[in-house]
Amino acid sequence: MIFYAISRVLQSFAVMLVTAFVCFILFNYVGDPINNMVGQETTIQDREALRERLGLNDPTAVQFLRFLRNAAQGDFGISYRLQRPVKDVIPERLPATMELVFASAVLALALGIPFGIYTGLNRDTWLSRAILTGSLAGVSLPTFVIGILLIYLFSVTLGLLPSFGRGETVQVIGWWTSGLLTVSGWKSIILPSITLCLFQLTLILRIVRAEMLEVLMTDYIKFARARGLTDRAINFGHALKNTLVPVITVTGLQVGSLIAFSIITETVFQWPGMGFLFIQAVHFADIPIMVAYLVMVALFFVIINLIVDLLYFVVDPRLRMDRVETAGQG
Amino acid sequence: MIGGWLRRVIDHDIFYSFTRSPVTVLAALMTLVILISSILAPCLTPHDPFNPASLNIMDAFTPPVWVEGGMWKFPLGTDDQGRDILATIMYGNRISLIVGFLSVIFSIVIGVTLGMVSGYIGGWLDAVIMRLADAQLTIPSILIALMVDGIARVSLPRELQNEIAVYVLIFSIGIAAWPQYARVTRSGTMVEKNKEYIAAARVINVHPVMIMLRHIIPNVMGPNLVLATIGVALAIIIEATLSFLGVGVPPTTPSLGTLIRIGNDFLFSGEWWITIFPVVALIVLVLSVNLIGDWLRDTFNPKLR
Amino acid sequence: MSLLDVEHLRVEFPTRHGVLVAVDDVSFSIDEGEVLGVVGESGAGKSITGLAIIGLLERPGRIARGTIRFEAQKINGLPKEAMRRIRGAKIGAIFQDPLTSLNPLYTIGRQLVETITTHNDLTLSQARGRAIDLLNEVGISAADRRIDSYPHEFSGGMRQRVVVALALCANPRLIIADEPTTALDVSIQAQIIALLKRLCRDHRTAIILITHDMGVIAEMADRVAVMYAGRFTEIGPLRDVIKSPKHPYTVGLMNSIPIISHEIEELPHINGSMPRLHEIPPGCAFNPRCSRAVERCRVERPDFMPTGNPGQMASCWVFDKEIGNDGNGR
């Protein structure tokens, strides 16, 4: 078990390294950093001088190491658009995204899993059919459409909830500002988190349901019925556990992808988070921000993957290879 | 001969389940309507809404026909430049459909090729391709499409950007989706490869490429087509999202996403129709494609019969 | 009084091609402690008969006609909860694949204790004690340690012993064994058969042994029923059916079993194959392949008829008293 954990951690490091390298290559060698940084009027000599000063004429390996060293300290250079160090900009925007992602993850899991279980166990009730039809909407509607519709309903027509911004925030620890401690903060996070969670909720629902249906058709469930176990014991003792175990990985990864979809939600609601920052960076070809964002997202993904893998190991006894398989005499 | 073929189609299980599901029939009809209206858009609309010469700024902000101030000339109203919303929707559908289908075709070409090569040849090539696919699958496609698009934006000169933006878009969405087709093709190839008729073909010295094209491809296309039905809907959504975010198609050939973005500015000032109708059009389009895909999947899944 | 009485059982599956009859007018009875073998080709309807008796038919299958009486009480059509209490406690079942019959995520101890406490009012430690006793009884050594192992830690033969133990938890009077040895190695098969025989004798448990393997039947059964295309074609004491089969199908079956001491040029077989459920010919289902078929066989379906041997019945017009011909010229 320990070996497995260590090897997974090392794997994660490797992935991060590769990601960093890819980011580095793409954004230092695609297009010309100097041209992106200076105005039209700068002379060739000044550009050359700048290139030299920034070490852009050094061999690739040296530049990459420098990049890694800086990245490890959170230093991604200076934003072209904002003219401020990326290191300062990120902490301003990170808490907003993290809180939004957290709220959406909680919603997606707290609703998706129970709905999936219910529709798996009760295939024919009208509630099941209603949920499934609703889930079709969740998959068909792009996130930004949901956001716009919610804004139209709750902000424009009913005037109940704000349509942009984070509300009032409170400085909690160090640079972390939280919107979850104020009333206006709560009101502001409702619509965006519903928008963000809907797609994942539907996916989780469908995955849990599909797995539940498959589990209910297995031989061990049939045998459990043949032994006269109660429906309750079968559904919630056996079927549930066997459904949730394979589903952990997928739901974990789904939650991870929330951070990618937050780009859209933040844009619709003008939520001052990392995603909104990233889109603006793409518009303005602000490479340092783009690189920083991609590296951070990769880190987030890798950590989630790691946690999910280790969780899987804990939950499924078949994977615990340190228990010697006793091959008894038949 | 046509009669015989028709009879076979009608007798087939697929057609049976199709006609038994009224929702699917409705979805198919809607898709057909959308398809036809978007292909024939230039004939059906009074003018090309994106030709500035044909616009009259006095027509701007006309509400839909059933609201006071509306006219039949602009059944769904006009936007801030006097463009007829119905016409913009039809043209927007075009872009959405073109990008959706072409990107899926692109994904399939790349995915099937790589998957087949991977499954047939095996070895380290297989390992490399699959690792790549797995790595890419952990990242949501929208992020990949964004990244590719962003790189293109950064690396291409500004003048070229507008012209080839659509191709860049098709490329980025296509690249984002190839791993699933590759995976599915690979497993199908590995299954087929071990069958005896392939061994027989190899014995008589048929070239591997011929084997792949003539024998393996027809047998692995089934699951690919099922993926494609989901893929088209997803591609349409991704394109709409990218356009909404401002990194999709250029404003000169707007898709439904661009229209929604434009209209979003007017949501609060009361001209709701500029956004809401393109939104509805997008929903209808995606829903129809999804329903057909759902039905196709249920039909081809022997376990659910 | 028989333990189980099945009268004119008919199981149907409504499909889009029409209604398929999987079990057609089957009648038989079993006494306490008796082993009835039900033998036939794949698809003959043996498993469905077993599932119908224990009330585990999967939808859309249903019992269309007939009565199943257990201990003189009618059990088909009982409400769900009443049927559940019979399962495991009165009628048990074991299935073919021991690996998939056990929930991989729970220890066998947990699965045993759960079954025991479902039907008996025991404390957990009492139940655990009983579970260990059961494991000992089915021949699993070091039961007090192995009880906390997971299914994947056992070999195939041991797993099937665990399955038998699970089926015996509540001491059912009848066990339906559906291909209990098919998934096992030949050497293990013999052990499991011996185990079942011993337990059946010790507990006076009746067994319906469903299999396509005549060898297993020959080892275990007291009586044999031969099933073809959803119907019973012959039933009788083991020795009689094997040594002097009456129905032409049974004759063909026995002839096709090669005897290792005899030299033969060609393996004898019955021409043709068993009809699919939607292609069953009118009259006797076997008539297209039967060398003794007469016109009546193609038109009228025969019921069970006495064949001259006590207790041995065959559904074949050859034995019809009206014709006065029982195949032996008497």
pLDDT tens digits, one per residue of B3-24: 666 666 555 555 655 555 677 7
Q: Does B247 reach chain A within 8 Å, measured CB to CB?
A: yes
Residue C315 resides in a domain = yes
What does the pLDDT profile of chain C (330 residues) look like in tens digits?
A: 788 999 999 999 988 778 888 898 899 999 998 999 999 888 888 999 999 999 898 888 889 899 999 998 888 888 989 999 889 889 999 998 888 999 998 999 999 999 999 988 889 899 999 999 999 988 888 888 888 999 988 988 899 999 999 998 888 999 999 998 888 888 888 888 998 888 888 889 999 999 988 888 988 899 999 998 888 989 999 998 888 888 888 888 888 777 777 777 777 777 778 888 878 888 888 888 888 888 888 888 888 888 878 888 888 887 776 554 444 443
> In B, which residues are within 8 Å of A139 by CB distance?
290
Per residue in B244-262, pLDDT (tens digit) is 888 888 777 788 888 888 8
pLDDT higher than threshold 70 for residue A74: yes
For chain B, the average pLDDT equals 79
pLDDT of residue C329: 42
Integer Cα distance of B179 and B112 in angstroms? 9
Interface test with C, best of A225, A227, A319 (most C CBs within 10 A): A227
Domains and CATH numbers, chain B: 2-304 (1.10.3720.10)
For chain A, the average pLDDT equals 80
Q: Does A269 reach chain B within 8 Å, measured CB to CB?
A: no
Determine contact, residues C86/C23, Cβ cutoff 8 Å.
Answer: no
Counting residues of chain B whose pLDDT is more than 90, the rounded percentage is 6
pLDDT higher than threshold 50 for residue A327: no
Contacts of C155 (CB under 8 A, 6+ apart): A327, A328, A329, A330
Cα separation values, B179 from B12, B219, B242, C30, C106, Å? 32, 19, 21, 59, 36
Per residue in B49-63, pLDDT (tens digit) is 666 666 777 777 777
The answer to whether the Cβ–Cβ distance between A156 and B272 falls below 8 Å is yes
The answer to whether the Cβ–Cβ distance between C105 and A220 falls below 8 Å is no
Describe chain C by its helix, strand, coil percentages, rounded to 5. Answer: 35, 20, 40
Q: A296: helix, coil or strand?
A: helix
Q: Is the peptide bond before C60 cis (omega within 30 degrees of 0)?
A: yes
Which chains pack against A, by 3+ Cβ pairs within 8 A? B, C
Integer Cα distance of A198 and B191 in angstroms? 38
pLDDT of residue A40: 66
Cβ-Cβ pairs closer than 8 A, A with C, add up to 103
Cα separation values, C248 from A136, A238, C233, Å? 57, 47, 9
Closest Cβ opposite residue C101 in set A219, A228, A330: A219
The answer to whether the Cβ–Cβ distance between A140 and B283 falls below 8 Å is yes
Q: Does A297 reach chain B within 8 Å, measured CB to CB?
A: yes
Contacts of B140 (CB under 8 A, 6+ apart): A257, A260, A261
Q: Does A37 reach chain B within 8 Å, measured CB to CB?
A: no
Per residue in A185-221, pLDDT (tens digit) is 788 888 889 999 998 898 889 889 988 988 998 999 9
pLDDT of residue A78: 75
Phi and psi torsions of A94, nearest 5°: -60, -50
Interface test with A, best of C47, C70, C99, C101 (most A CBs within 10 A): C101
pLDDT of residue B5: 61
Give the pLDDT band of residue A38 (cuts 50, 70, 90). low
Between helices C156-168 and C186-203, what is the axis angle to 10°? 20
Closest Cβ opposite residue A285 in set B143, B153, B246: B153
pLDDT of residue A222: 92
Residue C275 resides in a domain = yes
Domain count, chain C: 1
* Nearest residue of B to residue A285, measured between CA atoms: B154
* Nearest residue of C to residue A321, measured between CA atoms: C153
User: What DSSP assignment string belongs to B130-142?
Assistant: HHHHHHHHTS-HH
The answer to whether the Cβ–Cβ distance between A328 and C154 falls below 8 Å is yes
Which value, to the nearest 10 degrees, does the dihedral of the CA atoms of residues C28, C31, C34, C37 take? Answer: 10
Integer Cα distance of C90 and C168 in angstroms? 10
First to last CA, chain A: 29
Residue C235 resides in a domain = no
> In A, which residues are within 8 Å of C188 by CB distance?
330
Q: Does A265 reach chain B within 8 Å, measured CB to CB?
A: no
Report the amino acid identity of residue C165. A
pLDDT of residue C91: 92
Contacts of B231 (CB under 8 A, 6+ apart): B104, B107, B177, B180
The answer to whether the Cβ–Cβ distance between B155 and A31 falls below 8 Å is yes
Integer Cα distance of C170 and A22 in angstroms? 63
Integer Cα distance of A178 and B40 in angstroms? 53
Give the pLDDT band of residue A321 (cuts 50, 70, 90). low
Interface test with A, best of C85, C102, C103 (most A CBs within 10 A): C103
Lowest mean per-residue pLDDT among A74-78, A151-155, B113-117, C55-59: A74-78
Residue C281 resides in a domain = yes
Q: Does A178 reach chain B within 8 Å, measured CB to CB?
A: no
The answer to whether the Cβ–Cβ distance between C95 and A228 falls below 8 Å is no
Locate A212 and state its tokens: 């539940």
* Nearest residue of A to residue C156, measured between CA atoms: A330
CA of A311 vs chain B CAs: smallest distance (Å): 17
* Nearest residue of A to residue B232, measured between CA atoms: A140
Phi-psi region of C5 (alpha: psi -120 to 50; beta: other; left: phi over 0): beta
Give the pLDDT band of residue A135 (cuts 50, 70, 90). confident
Counting residues of chain A whose pLDDT is more than 90, the rounded percentage is 9
Angle at A137 between CA A136 and CA A138, to 5 degrees: 90
> In A, which residues are within 8 Å of C54 by CB distance?
226
Determine contact, residues B99/B169, Cβ cutoff 8 Å.
Answer: yes
Integer Cα distance of A39 and A33 in angstroms? 12
pLDDT of residue A323: 40
Describe chain B by its helix, strand, coil percentages, rounded to 5. Answer: 75, 0, 20
pLDDT of residue C324: 47
**In terms of DSSP bridges, do strands C4-15 and C62-70 run parallel, antiparallel, or are they unpaired?**
antiparallel
**Which residue in this structure is represented by tokens 């990245």?**
A71
Integer Cα distance of C106 and C101 in angstroms? 12
Residue C278 resides in a domain = yes
The answer to whether the Cβ–Cβ distance between B276 and A152 falls below 8 Å is yes
Q: Does B268 reach chain A within 8 Å, measured CB to CB?
A: yes
Q: State which residues form the domain around C297.
A: 240-258+268-330
**Which residue in this structure is represented by tokens 């019969």?**
B305
Integer Cα distance of C159 and C153 in angstroms? 9
pLDDT higher than threshold 70 for residue A176: yes
pTM of structure: 0.78
Contacts of B76 (CB under 8 A, 6+ apart): B64, B65, B84, B85, B86, B89, B273, B277
Integer Cα distance of A52 and A54 in angstroms? 6
Lowest mean per-residue pLDDT among B30-39, B116-125, C6-15, C94-103: B30-39
Q: How many CB atoms lie within 10 A of CB C67?
A: 15
Q: C151: helix, coil or strand?
A: helix
Residue C300 resides in a domain = yes
pLDDT higher than threshold 90 for residue B107: yes
Q: C69: helix, coil or strand?
A: strand
Q: C22: helix, coil or strand?
A: strand
Locate A139 and state its tokens: 């998959």
Interface test with A, best of C75, C153, C171 (most A CBs within 10 A): C153
- Taking only residues 50 to 109 of chain A, the set having a beta carbon closer than 8 angstroms to any beta carbon of chain B reads none
The answer to whether the Cβ–Cβ distance between A226 and C56 falls below 8 Å is yes
ipTM associated with this complex:
0.86
Q: Does B72 reach chain A within 8 Å, measured CB to CB?
A: no
Residue C30 resides in a domain = no
> In C, which residues are within 8 Å of A330 by CB distance?
155-158, 184-185, 187-188, 191
pLDDT higher than threshold 90 for residue B109: yes
In sign, the C-alpha dihedral spanning B253, B255, B261, B264 is positive
Residue C253 resides in a domain = yes
The helix/strand count (H/E) of chain C reads as 12, 12
The answer to whether the Cβ–Cβ distance between B151 and A26 falls below 8 Å is yes
> In B, which residues are within 8 Å of A287 by CB distance?
154
Determine contact, residues C27/C227, Cβ cutoff 8 Å.
Answer: no
